[in-house]
A = this chain, B = another copy of it.
Amino acid sequence: MDLSPASIQEAYTLITPHIHRTPLLTCSTLDTLASTPQSVADLANTPFAGLEPAHPRFRFFFKCENYQRIGAFKARGAFHALIRLLQGGEDVRTRGVITHSSGNHAQALALAAKTLDIPAYVVMPEISTPSKIAGTRAHGATVVFSGSTSEEREAVVRDLQAQTGAILVPPYDDANVICGQGTTGLEMQAQYEALVEQTPRLSVHPEQKVLDAVITPIGGGGLNAGVATYFSDKTTKVFGAEPSFEGADDCRRGLEGGVRVESVKTLTIADGLRTPVGILNWAVISDPSKVAGVYAVTEEQIKAAMRLVLERMKVVVEPSAVVGLAVCLFNEEFRRLVEKEGGDQGWDVGIVFSGGNTTVEAIGKLFT
């Protein structure tokens, strides 16, 4: 499986019957806000309704993967990886598949395995929340418990693989997973084309009808590498966004230092982005012809962006989902770049909302 736009087109054909075509939403309030210089402190007192931007700088197109099956883009990669395993001729229906994520990837793998009639084993720490365990089991996976350290989890995975022959499906560092996640980019570009047929637009490339820029969160880097691969033969610039808290911006730091950062230990509120970038993912993201830059935002900026999406767009997202929007609103380096390159027209920016798996209690905890 090579990482090319054609591979992503192939992946899309394979997974289309199983995934949702999630909506591409716009929000003029957020366009206006982003086109006006902002700090988090300013935002709290801004009466949005009357705002008129000095000149249009951003027009946003939100790809809502929070409305994807299992509530996150991870369903794309999981379905693609399993369909490829079935095509590969190995007896995956007997052997089964295994993973050790306790987050969105676990649920995605469980759903895809159940749909494709493949046994699935998910190794989860004993201390996982009951709702996550119940959710994974409800999709038909066998949940096996382990200790909390990665050594303990990996030992349980090895034991289970030895017993069952189950094939490991990694959460991000895998070409098939990357191509699956990249279909997010393909779909948003197609929806953008259809939308701008109907509406006047800012884009600096009117003849091509491509997005000027796309920004996605970076955790392990599956989504960003996949989307960057899809746009690699287009004029669209792809960017990544990370939390800066406790060094969670491992990818940005790696690019600065010229070497991939191999481990991260952070408790950022963007809990889907606590992992370091994978090896295959790094190869794509560190290629400046594919990814134009990675920017970081603070916890406070992530919360401000999440508040805007919930209160203004009335859309439920998890903290990890809004780091791209937070970069557009608050990262001065990125905003200067858009001002310079977007000129009088501004940029049409695709923002991927990666997921919406949160709870009302978690929202309450963040904002009280």
Contact = CB atoms under 8 A, between A and B. Distances in A.
Contacts of A138: 47-50
Interface string A111-151: 10000000000000000000000110111100000000000
Contact of A307 (B45, B50, B360, B365): B360
A360 B47 contact: no
A140 to B, nearest CB: 7
Contacts of A316: 310-311, 313-316
A contact residues, range: 35 or more
Contact of A368 (B139, B140, B356, B365): B365
Contact of A49 (B66, B139, B313): B139
Contact of A315 (B314, B359, B365, B368): B314
B140 A311 contact: no
A53 to B, nearest CB: 15
- Count copies of this chain in the complex: 2
Interface in A254-310: 306-307, 310
Max count, chain B CB within 10 A of own CB: residue among A138, A314, A315, A316: A314
Contacts of A207: none
Nearest to A316: B314
A367 B356 contact: no
Which of A67, A313, A316, A359 has the most chain B CB atoms closer than 10 A to its own CB? A316
Contact of A314 (B49, B67, B139, B306): B67
Contacts of A366: 360, 364
Contacts of A48: 138
Contacts of A317: 314
A56 interface: no
A138 B135 CA distance: 44
B135 A360 contact: no
Contacts of A361: 367-368
14 contacts: A45-B134, A47-B137, A49-B111, A50-B139, A71-B314, A307-B360, A310-B316, A313-B316, A314-B315, A314-B316, A315-B315, A315-B316, A364-B368, A365-B368
Interface of A: 45, 47-50, 66-67, 71, 111, 134-135, 137-140, 306-307, 310-311, 313-317, 356, 358-361, 363-368
Given A50-B138, A314-B315, 15 more contacts: A45-B134, A47-B134, A47-B135, A47-B138, A50-B140, A67-B314, A71-B314, A307-B359, A310-B316, A311-B359, A311-B360, A314-B316, A315-B316, A364-B364, A365-B368
